[in-house]
Amino acid sequence: MQHPTPGVGDTSKIERGVDRFGRADVWLAYAMAEVTIQPTKNGSYLVKGPITIIGVDGTAYELEGDEHWLCRCGHSQTKPFCDTSHKRVGFQSEPRVSDGLTC
Ligand code: FES
């Protein structure tokens, strides 16, 4: 199966397909056109814009609001959302986004 590529104006597609790691028959969601993701210093990801979270069973949850804080430390009791546990565990990370980009 060919990996689908979202196109211009293709902002809310959810479908089954092959992900970029070659895993077949997984849920793929495209809602990035209006979304920004910002890792915060020693904390969570700040996601701005309308987003849909897909559960492991494929259920889609459309989130209300324009700002969402997603756990990056792995210690939240409310994953995928941040519950500020990163402060309790002393999570430290100051990522440079450019380090992970290959383009
Ligand atoms: S980043 Fe806040 S609880 Fe994990």
Asked if residue 26 belongs to a domain, the reply is no
From the list 37, 41, 36, the residue with the least C-alpha distance to 95 is 41
Asked if residue 25 belongs to a domain, the reply is no
Q: What is the pTM of this model?
A: 0.64
Asked if residue 20 belongs to a domain, the reply is no
How many Å apart are CA 87 and CA 100, to the nearest integer?
24
Asked if residue 13 belongs to a domain, the reply is no
Judged by DSSP in three states, 33 sits in coil
How many Å apart are CA 2 and CA 24, to the nearest integer?
10
Residue 38: what pLDDT? 92
From the CA of 37, how far away is ligand 1's center (Å)?
15
Asked if residue 100 belongs to a domain, the reply is no
Q: What is the CATH number of the domain that holds 57?
A: 3.40.5.90
Tell me if 86 CB under 6 Å of ligand 1. Answer: yes
Asked if residue 24 belongs to a domain, the reply is no
CA dihedral angle for residue 31, residue 32, residue 33, residue 34, rounded to 10 degrees: 90
**Domain extent at residue 71:** 34-93
Tell me if 47 CB under 6 Å of ligand 1. Answer: no
Residue type present at position 43: G
Asked if residue 101 belongs to a domain, the reply is no
Based on the structure, what is the number of domains in the chain?
A: 1
Per-residue pLDDT of the chain (103 residues; tens, 9 = 90+): 444 444 444 556 677 887 777 888 777 766 555 788 999 999 999 999 888 888 888 888 888 888 999 999 999 999 999 999 999 999 999 877 777 666 5
Preceding peptide of 80 cis, ω within 30°: yes
Sign for the CA dihedral angle at 5, 22, 37, 56 comes to positive
From the CA of 53, how far away is ligand 1's center (Å)?
17
From the CA of 12, how far away is ligand 1's center (Å)?
27
Residue 24: what pLDDT? 81
Asked if residue 51 belongs to a domain, the reply is yes
